[in-house]
Amino acid sequence: MSSKAPNAPLNVLVIVASTRPGRLGPAIADWFVRATLPEAAGDGIIVDVADLADIGLPLLDEPEHPSSGIYVHEHTRAWSRRVAAADAFVVVTPEYNYGMPAALKNAFDFLYHEWAWKPVGFVSYGNTSAGTRSVQMTKQVVTTLKMMPIGATVALRIADSTHNGQVIESAGLDEAARGVLHELTRVASAMRSLRTGTDSDDTSIPGPVDGLRLTTARPDDLAELLVLQRCCWVQEALANDTLDLQPLRETLDDLRASMSTWQLWCVRRHGRLVAAVRARAHERAWLIGRLMVAPDQAGNGIGSWLLSYVERQAPEETTHCELFTGHRSTRNIKLYERAGYALTAADGTPDGSVYLTKQRQLSA
């Protein structure tokens, strides 16, 4: 994920957009990193280079929409991690037929949330226009992804600024590169609160304690969610005298795969993940699962509040809510009964579990 703490170092990802043999992009990216190294080191800025030729993304091949955050292929997950870790971007791009390289457009299209609320600067290169028409086209795309193009740019005319495949040493060009990094990091710092604060996928509803923020789960929540799940189900294992519980066996890949069939919600308190739940519709039922609250946060109403929220997300065509819990999980059973659930006999209830249902109050 990108930097969260207010004083954490900023991560700048330099993206080499061209993938064709004989390209100038890697040499220009290397020059930009060298030219800005003193300022980056002095300000504690981490600069990384992502060469799209090395990353090797195929033409967009994900079956789900990028905004879902559900990724089937590892090449997408790796790209997602790389982009999510960045606070800002510098795109090093040529101009192909008055536009951006197809590889760059494809790299943008693979992801969605990972780009949002981050600034982007440009180092372009070309002949007559020095690549500036590519930059103008790219700006239309990045603003749709909620990115913020900065004003400072570097535009290199190949005949004037390069020789034998390298950028010609120039104090003026070096200063221009440092100007891009300086403006980029100023804007990245100013936008940090947007990257860590309330987003359009957040649900602002009053909670039982201060500092709660409810969001739909995203891929970069999953590692933390897996840790929370294991902490919570250790207590269930002790209460039911068994370690043979699915939530304790799940891997990160299992959790990631569940995003294709379940809706997941996370609750953070002052930035820390403290609760989560998931649900899905099955025929006329709204199935609720994995309701969990961090052990040190239990007892203050977060579980009941989250259960009430997820019940309200049930589709109109569902008639009742269903859930399971351990047959010796007395605390959970009492919570559900207080919320209106009733123990119900049903075929197929897993061994060691009880099945509870609640009829929905349908509007007239």
Distance between CA atoms of 56 and 75, rounded to whole angstroms? 8
Distance between CA atoms of 328 and 240, rounded to whole angstroms? 5
Instruction: Determine the topology of domain 202-359 in CATH.
Output: Aminopeptidase (3.40.630)
Q: Do the Cβ atoms of 104 and 93 come closer than 8 Å?
A: yes
Which secondary structure element, helix H or strand E, spans residue 288, and what is its range? strand 285-293
Residue type, 33: V
Asked if the 11-196 domain carries CATH number 3.40.50.360, the reply is: yes
Residues in the chain: 364
- CA angle 101–104–105, rounded 5-degree value: 90
Query: What residues contact residue 275 under an 8 Å CB cut-off, 6+ apart?
Result: 228, 266, 267, 292, 293, 294, 297, 302, 303, 306
Residue 364: the pLDDT is 43
Is the four-CA dihedral 131, 132, 133, 138 of positive or negative sign?
positive
Task: Reduce the DSSP state of residue 334 to 3 states and report it.
Answer: helix
Q: Do the Cβ atoms of 88 and 122 come closer than 8 Å?
A: no
What single DSSP character describes residue 298? Answer: T
The encoded tokens of residue 141 equal 């795309």
The encoded tokens of residue 69 equal 């955050």
How many of the other CB atoms lie within 10 Å of CB of 157? 15
Q: Do the Cβ atoms of 13 and 88 come closer than 8 Å?
A: yes
Dihedral angle computed from the Cα positions of residues 34, 39, 40 and 45, in that order, rounded to the nearest 10 degrees: -170
For tokens 């790299």, the residue is 107
DSSP string, 219-272: GGGHHHHHHHHHHHHHHHHHHHT-S--HHHH--HHHHHHHTTTSEEEEEEETTE
The encoded tokens of residue 109 equal 């299209």
Per-residue pLDDT tens listing for the chain (364 residues)? 455 555 678 999 999 999 999 999 999 999 999 999 999 999 899 999 999 999 999 999 998 888 777 778 889 989 988 998 899 999 999 999 999 999 999 999 999 989 999 999 999 999 999 999 999 999 999 999 999 999 999 999 999 999 999 999 999 999 999 999 999 999 999 998 887 654 444 455 668 888 888 888 888 888 899 999 888 888 777 877 777 777 888 898 888 888 888 999 999 887 889 999 999 999 899 999 999 999 999 888 999 999 999 998 898 889 999 998 887 888 889 999 999 999 998 776 777 788 999 998 755 4
Residue type, 303: G
Which secondary structure element, helix H or strand E, spans residue 325, and what is its range? strand 320-326
Predicted TM-score (pTM) of the model is 0.61
Domain with CATH 3.40.50.360 in the chain: 11-196
Measured in degrees and rounded to the nearest 5, phi and psi for residue 203 equal -115, 115
For tokens 């034998």, the residue is 164
E-strand stretches of 78-169: 88-94, 119-126, 148-157, 162-163, 166-167
